[in-house]
Amino acid sequence: MAKYGWFPDDYVSSTYDIDFHRLYEEGYRGLIFDVDNTLVPHNAPADQQAKDLFSYLNHLGYFFMFVSNNKEPRVRDFCRDVGGFGYVYLAGKPSPKGYVEAMERMGTNRENTLFIGDQILTDIWGANRAGVRNIMVRPVKKWHEEIQIILKRLLEAVILGAYGLYKKAGGAVRKAPLKEEGASLK
Ligand SMILES: [Mg+2]
């Protein structure tokens, strides 16, 4: 069964649950992140949890970049605060352009780059179009969003329902490794 362009490779509850150490061992070297609601609430600055995650990813040896549809000051400040390699702002996701630019700048490719984001119609669709493995996460703060995002969430709920049926029917999913319950960053 072919995977539909709106279906994520996997869907997990939080970016902070993903076992990035395991993924590094599997050969991944580049990480592309959406920012708003993937790492912190919409327009919120980097918090300690985000800073800890990125210093850990840096320590593991990853390159990481942020590809966001938000404006430059927001994405630039977030990237600076967590020590990111770079960012693409007003990326126009689901266009694949920002993903391709990020991979070019990190010197990584479709095989060793992973994308993490919270929205199907921008993040996941764009990653699939760029041919990048992706993990969808539950939004950090769901109901404090602008109205157009809330409307998109309703459509996403329908797509996620279809995705659930697809998985039940044996559709292909690339399981993302998760940290063990309560495991610390090390
Ligand atoms: Mg987002």
pTM (2 d.p.):
0.88
Indicate whether 100 pLDDT > 70.
Answer: yes
Q: Return the axis-axis angle of helices 72-82 and 48-60, rounded to nearest 10°.
A: 60
If you measure from the C-alpha of residue 21 to the centroid of ligand 1, how many angstroms do you get, rounded to a whole number?
23
**What is the Cα 59 distance to its own chain's centre?**
19
36: confidence class by pLDDT, cuts 50, 70, 90 = very high
Average pLDDT, rounded, for the chain: 92
148: confidence class by pLDDT, cuts 50, 70, 90 = confident
If you measure from the C-alpha of residue 81 to the centroid of ligand 1, how many angstroms do you get, rounded to a whole number?
18
If you measure from the C-alpha of residue 42 to the centroid of ligand 1, how many angstroms do you get, rounded to a whole number?
7
**Cα–Cα dist 174/182, whole Å:** 23
If you measure from the C-alpha of residue 35 to the centroid of ligand 1, how many angstroms do you get, rounded to a whole number?
6
If you measure from the C-alpha of residue 123 to the centroid of ligand 1, how many angstroms do you get, rounded to a whole number?
7
Report DSSP state, residue 18. B
If you measure from the C-alpha of residue 152 to the centroid of ligand 1, how many angstroms do you get, rounded to a whole number?
12
Q: Which residues contact 76 (CB under 8 A, 6 or more apart)?
A: 87, 89
Domain ranges of the chain: 10-168
Picking from 163, 165, 179, 182, the residue whose alpha carbon sits closest to that of residue 10 is 163
Residue-level pLDDT at 1? 44
**Cα–Cα dist 3/171, whole Å:** 7
If you measure from the C-alpha of residue 170 to the centroid of ligand 1, how many angstroms do you get, rounded to a whole number?
28
174: confidence class by pLDDT, cuts 50, 70, 90 = confident
Homologous superfamily of domain range 10-168: HAD superfamily/HAD-like (3.40.50.1000)
Indicate whether 2 pLDDT > 60.
Answer: no
**Cα–Cα dist 127/116, whole Å:** 9
Q: Which residue is listed with tokens 């960012």?
A: 87
Contact call for residues 174 and 18 (beta carbons, < 8 A):
no
Rounded average pLDDT over 58-83: 97
If you measure from the C-alpha of residue 97 to the centroid of ligand 1, how many angstroms do you get, rounded to a whole number?
17
**Cα–Cα dist 158/97, whole Å:** 27
Q: Which residues contact 44 (CB under 8 A, 6 or more apart)?
A: none
State the amino acid at position 171 in one-letter form.
G
**Cα–Cα dist 112/125, whole Å:** 19
If you measure from the C-alpha of residue 118 to the centroid of ligand 1, how many angstroms do you get, rounded to a whole number?
5
If you measure from the C-alpha of residue 100 to the centroid of ligand 1, how many angstroms do you get, rounded to a whole number?
18
